[in-house]
């Protein structure tokens, strides 16, 4: 029940068309969603021009295609994450304008790309194997309207490569660090920049990396300040968090 409905109700009370008792009942029983919709909706996507997002992994090709088609009617921008080639093929049949970013595993349907934010987000990754997650983060940030600088393959085992890119990293508004194995890159970068760092542990490694827990724990226990951590392999989440940090108020 939006404002104008409440006004109407009160007008009717004031005009004697509606008894106080009945008005109380209406107010008491009005569906939560109606009040709620106005005051607590989380439609930040709509308000901010952010796309609707579908987590494709584990869904059938048909489901992905159907959901993207449906969402594309009410949204200018729709993205599917963790999508494979088959899912994209299915989407393409119903949304021929959808494009697929293979490395980032993202399907994008975009009628009206978001205007770019000022400055840029740096996406820094440790090893070659971390690139899919890094790309998911980078592309997500781009789709959400940010310029992105990619600084890949600068793990701490060859730290001079990282330092060669230090100025680029330090000039970013937000830095996303993507690393598997021991995840030390997050601490090293965190110690050298004075901007927020979003750390993404990856499941890259083997044995006692415990599917990414090793990197995750490293990042949570970072001796550097200013580091916020997202779930293992969650490139999308990192790109999203970086984007809302970078969004102009």
CA distance 81 to 236: 7
Interface with its own copies by CB under 8 A: which range of 30-38, 71-79, 83-91, 98-106? 30-38
CB nearer its own copies, residue 16 or residue 96: 16
Token duo for residue 32: 């939560």
Query: b/e for 172-210, b at 16 or more Cβ within 10 A?
Result: bbbbbbbbbbbbbbbbbbbeebebbbbbbbbbbbeeebe
Interface with its own copies by CB under 8 A: which range of 71-79, 92-100, 103-111, 186-194? 186-194
Residues of this chain, 44-103, that bind its own copies according to CB under 8 A: 44, 47-48, 53, 55, 57-59, 63
CB nearer its own copies, residue 92 or residue 165: 165
Residue of 60, 111, 112, 158 interacting with its own copies (CB under 8 A): 158
Residue 143 makes contact with its own copies by CB under 8 A: no
Cα-Cα end-to-end distance for the chain: 29
Residue of 73, 96, 115, 249 interacting with its own copies (CB under 8 A): 249
CA distance 96 to 75: 16
Residues of this chain, 111-130, that bind its own copies according to CB under 8 A: 119, 126-129
CB nearer its own copies, residue 98 or residue 144: 144
């Amino acid at each position: 029940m939006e404002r104008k409905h409440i006004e109407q109700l009160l007008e009717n009370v004031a005009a004697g068309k509606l008894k106080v008792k009945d008005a109380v009942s209406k107010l008491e029983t009005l569906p939560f969603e109606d009040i709620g919709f106005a005051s607590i909706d989380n439609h930040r996507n709509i308000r901010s021009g952010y796309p609707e997002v579908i987590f494709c992994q584990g869904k059938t090709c048909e489901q992905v295609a159907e959901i993207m088609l449906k969402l594309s009617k009410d949204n200018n921008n729709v993205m599917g994450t963790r999508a494979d080639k088959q899912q994209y093929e299915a989407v393409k049949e119903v949304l021929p304008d959808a494009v697929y970013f293979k490395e980032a595993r993202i399907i994008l349907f975009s009628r009206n790309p978001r205007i770019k934010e000022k400055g840029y987000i740096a996406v820094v990754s440790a090893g070659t194997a971390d690139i899919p997650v890094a790309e998911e983060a980078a592309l997500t940030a781009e789709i959400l309207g940010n310029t992105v600088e990619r600084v890949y393959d600068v793990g701490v085992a060859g730290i001079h490569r990282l330092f060669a890119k230090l100025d680029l990293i330090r000039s970013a508004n937000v830095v996303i660090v993507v690393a598997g194995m021991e995840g030390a890159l997050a601490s090293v970068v965190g110690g050298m920049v004075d901007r927020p760092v979003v750390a993404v542990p990856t499941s890259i490694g083997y044995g006692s990396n415990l599917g990414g827990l090793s990197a995750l724990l490293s990042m949570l226990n970072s001796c550097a300040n200013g580091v916020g951590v997202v779930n293992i392999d969650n490139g999308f989440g990192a790109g999203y968090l970086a984007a809302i940090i970078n969004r102009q108020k």
